[in-house]
Amino acid sequence: MPLADFDVVLGLEVHAQLLTRSKIFCGCSTAFGAEPNAHTCPVCLALPGALPWLNREVVEMAVRAGLALGCAIQPTSVFARKNYFYPDLPKGYQISQYERPICLGGAVEFDLGGEERRVRLTRIHMEEDAGKNLHDLAADGSSGVDLNRAGVPLLEIVSEPELRSVDEAVEYLKALRAVLVALGVNDGNLEEGSFRCDANVSVKPRGAARLGQRCEIKNMNSFRFLRQAVEFEVRRQVEVIEAGGKVEQETRLFDPARGETRAMRSKEEAHDYRYFPEPDLPPVRVDPALVAAARAALPELPRARARRYQERLGLPAADAGLIAGEPEVARFFDAALEASGKGAEAARRIANWLNGDVARLANESGLAPRDWRLSPGALAELVGLIEAGTVGGPGAKQVLEECFRSGASPAAVVREKGLAQVSDAAAIDAVVERVLAASPAEVERYRAGNAKLLGFFVGQVMKEMKGKGNPAVVNAAVKKKLGGP
Ligand code: ADP
Ligand code: ZN
Ligand code: MG
């Protein structure tokens, strides 16, 4: 059977680092990038006798995320020990939640190809992150362990096996990430690993009711790698079945250098975690008043924001979704619109610039909106200059690039670089006359009925004026001088 005769089924486990200042079970800082082991204490080093105590803000953030995703917040949940040995785990167990997580149910909603999709969540639970092994530290090739990350709070968000393609998986992750970032509980950074995803992948004959055996894939720190990993894994599983074999349940590691997944460990061993309730922490009780307060304080969520942009500002769905899907970009957009002091017309222009040239410049520079030198006020000013006819399309592009690079004000750039659009009729007429005089044959053909040549003349005039001619005035002047065909 070819690939097309199989259904792909995906379930995702997301680990999102919470943006608390201190760790989940001690007062150590969660700040990234310090000297190895600078942010440690007896608790996160697992010294004998040290006891954990729960950071209240972790619970509040879990509740906020649960409410935003429509989960049932559990009045009582229980921490559990997940036992395994690894050098980056000094206690020999991870404190997580198992049978009684803080959130059950809920869903992530997103659009795919114009269709609305809703993928249900199984659960959300709180847990601690592990440390990091550092290899080849010295000339002797020795390894070390950095425990700065040990005890950093995580939410694990587990989906039902309801995703049907890698495209869906990517949209699901973008939507989930946008919600968490909008809530201020996560920074959404895949590359740095503060938003990580393991993908459970299985295939089954098209239309079959029973799910196939799954493999869990780890180590994908970008959407591109997720795509490669899942596509490789689907092909591999189909080939195993085609060859008459059986897919074994196992954990596989994605190798970005080869674009392949490789068996890491079989699931049977991995499952032997000997979970039991954490004896050093009491059950977590969530006060209904805390839930009510969190609900009342929820910010506008990305999908609601996108809907508002469509309904109130008339943005096309795709543009609204792009902006609202990146909470930092959305804040920038709102600020620019406010600075413009105008309504829907300015909104469309600002959105076009944001999704077009600004997005391109941001990509090329790798800068997040908070690090842009372009301010919302500057983008509003540029749009104002365009609306007033002070600068034309090609000039505006140049102005934007300069403002993005240097943080200068658009009006100043227009002045200093001489990019102002020329609308002066006498100046334009002079250029038109020169252009027509230089191409008598084309003028002849135009007057004989070849109307298409209008574009040629306009292009010549624009070229002479280095793109600064006001297109409407140039067009009119060319038509007038040529006389109608
Ligand atoms: P484990 O700890 O064994 O990984 P979890 O319950 O934490 O178990 O995660 C299971 C994940 O695997 C969920 O996201 C679930 O949707 C997904 N899953 C379960 N069965 C399948 C399957 N047959 N195909 C694809 N994904 C699956
Ligand atoms: Zn500590
Ligand atoms: Mg798993």
Does residue 118 form part of some domain? yes
Domain count along the chain? 3
Same domain, 256 and 350: no
Selected residue with higher pLDDT from 309 and 389: 309
Residue with tokens 């410049």: 361
Residue 17 domain flag: yes
pLDDT (0 to 100) of residue 139: 78
Tell me: the pLDDT tens digits for 106-142? Answer: 999 999 988 999 999 999 999 999 999 998 877 788 8
As a whole number of angstroms, the distance between CA 461 and CA 193 comes to: 53
- Best of 15, 173, 214 for a ligand 1 pocket test (most atoms within 8 Å of beta carbon): 214
Q: Is residue 188 part of a domain?
A: yes
Q: Quote the domain boundaries for residue 74.
A: 3-292
* Residue closest by Cα to atom 14 of ligand 1: 11
For residue 60, pLDDT over 80 is answered with yes
pLDDT in tens, 383-435: 999 988 889 888 899 999 999 999 999 999 999 988 888 888 888 999 999 99
- CATH number for the domain spanning 477: value is 1.10.10.410
- Residue 237 Cα to ligand 2 midpoint, Å, equals 43
Are 346 and 439 within one domain? Answer: no
Nearest C-alpha to atom 6 of ligand 1 is from which residue?
A: 158
Say if CB 10 and CB 201 are below 8 A apart: yes
Ligand 1 centre distance from Cα of residue 248 (Å): 14
Average pLDDT over residues 225-252: 95
Q: State whether the beta carbon of 251 lies less than 6 angstroms from ligand 1.
A: no
Letter for the amino acid at 99? E
Q: Could you write out the DSSP letters of every residue in 296-349?
A: HTPPPPHHHHHHHHHHHH---HHHHHHHHTSHHHHHHHHHHHHHHT--HHHHHH
Q: Say whether pLDDT at 269 is over 80.
A: no
Q: How far, rounded to the nearest angstrom, does the alpha carbon of residue 50 sit from its chain's CA centroid? A: 39
With a 6 Å cutoff on the Cβ, whether 200 touches ligand 1 is yes
CA distance linking residue 14 with residue 406, whole number of Å = 38
pLDDT surpasses 70 at 470: yes
397 with 436, same domain: the answer is: no
Cα–Cα distance, 474 to 463 (Å, whole number) = 11
Establish if 100 belongs to a structural domain: yes
Ligand that comes closest to the CA of residue 53:
2
> Phi/psi class of residue 483: alpha, beta or left (left: φ > 0; alpha: ψ in -120 to 50)?
left
SS3 215: strand
pLDDT at 484 over 70: no
- Residue 20 Cβ inside 6 Å of ligand 1? The answer reads no
Of 14, 365, 359, 357, which Cα lies nearest the Cα of 181? 14
For the Cβ of 161 lying below 6 angstroms from any atom of ligand 1, the answer is yes
pLDDT at position 256: 93
Q: What is the band of 450 on the pLDDT scale with cuts at 50, 70, 90?
A: confident
Ligand 2 center to 352 CA (angstroms): 47
159 Cβ closer than 6 Å to some ligand 1 atom: yes
Residue 165 inside a domain? The answer is yes
Q: 320: which 2 tokens? A: 């609204």
Q: Give me the residue label for tokens 């839930």.
A: 291
Residues 341, 248 share a domain: no
pLDDT the model gives residue 466: 83
**How much helix, strand and coil, in percent to the nearest 5, is found in the chain?**
40, 20, 40
Number of neighbouring beta carbons within 10 Å of residue 341: 9
What Cα–Cα distance (Å) separates residue 115 from each residue in 4, 28, 317, 396? 21, 45, 12, 36
Quick check: 2 pLDDT over 80?
Answer: no
- Once rounded to an integer, what is the mean pLDDT over residues 64-86? 97
How far does the centroid of ligand 2 lie from the alpha carbon of residue 152, in Å? 9
Query: Is residue 327 located within the same domain as residue 387?
Result: yes
Residues 351 and 465 in one domain: no
Question: Ligand 1 pocket, 328 CB below 6 A?
Answer: no
For residue 153, tell me if it sits in a domain.
yes
Q: In this predicted structure, what is the pLDDT of residue 185?
A: 98
Q: Which of 318, 320, 406, 404 is nearest to 369 (CA)?
A: 404
- Please indicate whether residue 13, judged by its CB atom, sits closer than 6 Å to ligand 1: yes
Taking the C-alpha atoms of residue 322 and residue 378, their distance in angstroms, rounded to an integer, is 21
264 — pLDDT class (breaks 50, 70, 90): confident
* Ligand 2: centre distance to CA 162 (Å): 38
Is residue 160 very low, low, confident or very high in pLDDT (cuts 50, 70, 90)? very high
* Cα–Cα distance measured from residue 73 to residue 344, given in angstroms and rounded to the nearest whole number: 39
pLDDT at residue 485 is higher than 80: no
The CA 129 to ligand 3 mean position distance, Å, reads 15
Is 216 touching ligand 1 by the criterion CB < 6 Å? Answer: yes
Cα 107 to Cα 117: distance, rounded to the nearest angstrom: 10
Give the distance (Å) from ligand 3 centre to CA of residue 96.
13
Alpha-carbon dihedral of residues 31, 32, 33, 34, nearest 10 degrees? 30
pLDDT (0 to 100) of residue 267: 67
- Residue with the smallest CA separation from ligand 1 atom 4 is 216
Closest ligand relative to 28 C-alpha: 2
Q: Region 315-319: what's the mean pLDDT?
A: 93
CA 311 – CA 305 distance, rounded (Å): 10
What pLDDT shows up at residue 270?
A: 54
Mean pLDDT score of the chain, rounded to an integer?
Answer: 93
In a shared domain, residues 68 and 156 = yes
Does ligand 1 lie within 6 Å of residue 355's CB atom? no
CA–centroid distance, 26 to ligand 2, in Å, is 5
Q: Is the distance from the beta carbon of residue 101 to the nearest atom of ligand 1 less than 6 Å?
A: no
Q: Is 125 in the pocket of ligand 1 (CB under 6 A)?
A: no
Q: Which atom of ligand 1 is nearest to the CA of 160?
A: 16
Does this model's pTM top 0.85?
Answer: yes
- Residue where a domain terminates, one of 417, 441, 473: 417
pLDDT at residue 141, as a whole number: 85
Residue 359 and residue 275 in one domain:
no
Q: Is the CB of 158 under 6 A from ligand 1?
A: yes
Is 297 part of any domain?
no
Question: Which of residues 417, 438, 461 is at a domain's end?
Answer: 417
Backbone angles phi, psi at 462, to 5 degrees: -60, -40
Measured by CA distance, the residue closest to atom 17 of ligand 1 is 11
In a domain, 94, yes or no: yes
Beta-carbon neighbours within 5 Å of ion ligand 2? 26, 28, 41, 43-44
d(CA 43, CA 280): 12
In this predicted structure, what is the pLDDT of residue 422?
87
Q: Which of 417, 441, 467 is the last residue of a domain?
A: 417
Judgement on whether residues 370 and 235 belong to the same structural domain of the protein = no
140 with 233, same domain? yes
Work out the angle between the directed axes of helices 440-447 and 453-464 (0-180°, nearest 10).
140
Starting from the CA of residue 29, give the closest ligand: 2
Query: 34 C-alpha to center of ligand 2: Å?
Result: 14
Q: Say whether both 391 and 445 belong to one domain.
A: no
Does one domain contain both 283 and 340?
no
Q: How, if at all, do strands 250-255 and 215-218 pair? A: parallel
Identify which of 12, 13, 127 to mutate to test ligand 1's pocket (most ligand atoms within 8 A of the CB).
13
Q: 174-192: per-residue pLDDT in tens? A: 999 999 999 999 999 998 8
- Kindly report the protein residue whose alpha carbon is nearest to atom 13 of ligand 1: 11
Express as a percent the part of the chain with pLDDT over 70: 98
* Cα(88) to centroid(ligand 2), Å: 14
What pLDDT does residue 268 have? 60
